[in-house]
Each structure stands twice: as structure tokens, then as C-alpha cells.
Amino acid sequence: MDKALLAKTAAAMVAKGRGILAADESAGTCEKRFQSVGVACTEENRRNYRGLLFSTPGVEKFVSGVILFDETIRQKADDGTPFADYLARKGVIPGIKVDKGTVEIPLAPGEKVTEGLDGLSKRLDEYFKLGARFAKWRAVITIGESIPTHTCLYANAHALARYAAACQAASIVPIIEPEVLLDGSHTVERCEEVTEATLRATYAALAAYNVVPECVILKASMVVSGKDCPRQAGVQEVAERTVRVLKRTVPAAQPGVVFLSGGQSDLDATAHLNAMSAMPGLPWPLTFSYSRALQNPALKTWKGSAANKNAAQQAFYHRAHMNGLAAQGKWKPELEKQAA
């Protein structure tokens, strides 16, 4: 374990005004998104689309790192440079998704655990050689009647901790992502309760597996109302509840927290991040690790056509810029109107 490299990487990932692009969608997820704009989900189209995002001029001012999928880290840019090297030359840190997706937990109806620990150390060594300096593992926590259970929280917490320990041993910074899903009719109060329980379980497991808190990044859910809940919490309430939970559970020694957008609209994800980043007394920097909330406008503009590349890059640059401002508490809704 190279602690100096880990610390340097972790600090760069949450540098002021910069965040992480999650471009680690599986082929299945890509297919759904590509279908929405009438694009065939071929390997070449996936390469072209990601290349469009990565080559956006100046986006490195707002993007500190990119989470890649296994296919993508083995692909090359148009100039023949491997994507990981291409990003690194722009000052953007290459990362890699290493989990193998979720499966049902036996005897725990409606709950899932993430797989991928088998052979992980060997895969991490290979990814390090391919240029990855951080990794991501996602767990999913569903809120429903009588769930999540203790079984679900601790199964996922221990998987996250074992993954994180393996990453640090390989000199790769682990992003831990225990996502509390937006789906359901639960209240914001219930979401806060579950998010706190999830993070308490996760950090207890990290400590049990000797994970160094100074070299790990949390990819956190925001505390929001379930998407089918009649009362939707406002921006300031979301910010206050989310930060309260983080302060109760996340060690101050941690380098930073990045947020997932989790199905929120592009503007909601930006507004929530801005409200949290503007709050006083934060022990760590807050920033973004968005997928759809960064990519949506670009994908809808691109539509698989090379002729739309410049316009798509401008759309991507704008969302990255807006979220870079939000990570500093400097975003304003008027900035969206000015760009439009």
C-alpha cells in the first residue's frame, strides 16, 4: 500500500470546484439510455460517445476524475491513446467500477447484496497497470415495508469494507457507494433514518477491516423524499438533513464526500449540491459524482451523429461548469438561463 499515492489521489479527486464523471454504465444500462435517443448500443458507439465526453475542451477545469467501465478502460481515443492515458494527460484521474452487480439476498425478500469480491485483488492489480488510481463499488439499499433489514445493511457494509481494504492494499483509492434508492413512497424522515443506519453500518465495517479513513471517498445518497411520496422535501430541507446525517456518521479525517444524483433531475441535483456546499462548518469538501445529471443534455444533443459533437460537448461542458460552481456554493439558477 502506497499511502502517499493514495493520499495524493484522494485529495485530487475532491479538489475545489471539481467533481467526478460517472461513465461506468454497463452495456445494459447504456442500451436503455441510447434507445431513448435512437442510437444503436454497439461497442463503437459507446466508445464514440465516451470519447466525445472525455475530449470536451476545457472540461478538466470541473472534472477531476472519470469512473470507467471494464470495456472503456481497454478502449482507445480517436488518436489511438488508451482512454486512461488520454484522461491522465488532461489532468483527469482514471477510475474503474469493479463490482459485479447485485443479487437477491437469500431469505431477505426484496433486498440485494453486491457481488464481485472473488478475484478482486487480481483485477485491481491489472486495473492499476491499466492506469486506474481509484475504484468504485455500489451497494443498493431499498426502503420499503419492514426493509431494509439488519441483514441487508450488514451484508452490504461488509462487502464494501472488504472491497475498500483490497483497493487500498493495491494503492487504489476506494469510492464506497451505499446508495439508498429514491424509489418508493417513503417520507424524507424515513430516508434520513435509513441513510444514517446505512452509513453507521458501513463505517463500523470499514473500521473492522482496517480501512484507512484518510484514503477513502464516500459516494453518498442525498436525503430526499421517495419519488412517489406526496410531500417532496424542498432544496434547503434536503441539504440540512443530508449534512446532518453525514456529520453524524462520516469521519472528519475523510478527504471528501461526492454525491450521486440518484434519479434526480439535472437542476435538482445541482441545486441540492449547491445548498449543501454553501453550509458553514463542513469538515470535508462536498462535490459531485454524477452520471445522468451530467450526461443527459449531451446525450440528447448527440443522438449518435458526428455532426452534433460540438453542440453535445458544449452541453456537457455547461453541466460540468454548473456543478463545479455548485460544489463551491456559488451556483445560481440565473446562470442556467444565461446559458440558454
pLDDT tens, position by position, 248-267? 999 999 999 999 998 889 99
Burial class (CB in 10 A: 0-12, 13-18, 19+), 78: exposed
In this structure, the number of other CB atoms found within 10 A of the CB of residue 331 comes to 23
Mean pLDDT, rounded, of the chain: 95
Q: Is residue 339 very low, low, confident or very high in pLDDT (cuts 50, 70, 90)?
A: low
- Residue 256 in contact with residue 285, Cβ under 8 Å? yes
Q: Which structural domain range is residue 218 located in? A: 3-339
**DSSP string over 104-159:** EPTT-TT-EEE---TTHHHHHHHHHHTT--EEEEEEEE--BTTBS-HHHHHHHHHH
Task: Give the pLDDT confidence score for residue 38 in this predicted structure.
Answer: 86
For the record, the C-alpha cell of 126 comes out as 491489472
Coil, strand or helix at 203: helix
- Averaged over 192-216, what is the pLDDT? 98
Q: Is pLDDT of 83 > 60?
A: yes
Q: What is the CA radius of gyration of the chain?
A: 19
Which one of the listed residues 25, 97, 136, 177 is annotated catalytic? Answer: 177
219 included as an active-site residue:
yes
**CATH assignment at residue 221:** 3.20.20.70
**Structural domain tally of the chain?**
1
Task: Please state, in angstroms and rounded to a whole number, the distance separating the CA atoms of residues 219 and 21.
Answer: 12
| pLDDT tens per residue across span 275-329 | 999 999 999 999 999 998 999 999 999 998 899 999 999 999 999 999 999 999 9
**DSSP string over 252-299:** TTS--EEE--TT--HHHHHHHHHHHHTSS--SS-EEEEESHHHHHHHH
* DSSP-derived secondary structure letter, 230: S
Task: Please state, in angstroms and rounded to a whole number, the distance separating the CA atoms of residues 293 and 162.
Answer: 29
31 included as an active-site residue:
no
Burial class (CB in 10 A: 0-12, 13-18, 19+), 35: exposed
Q: How far apart are the first and last CA of the chain?
A: 47
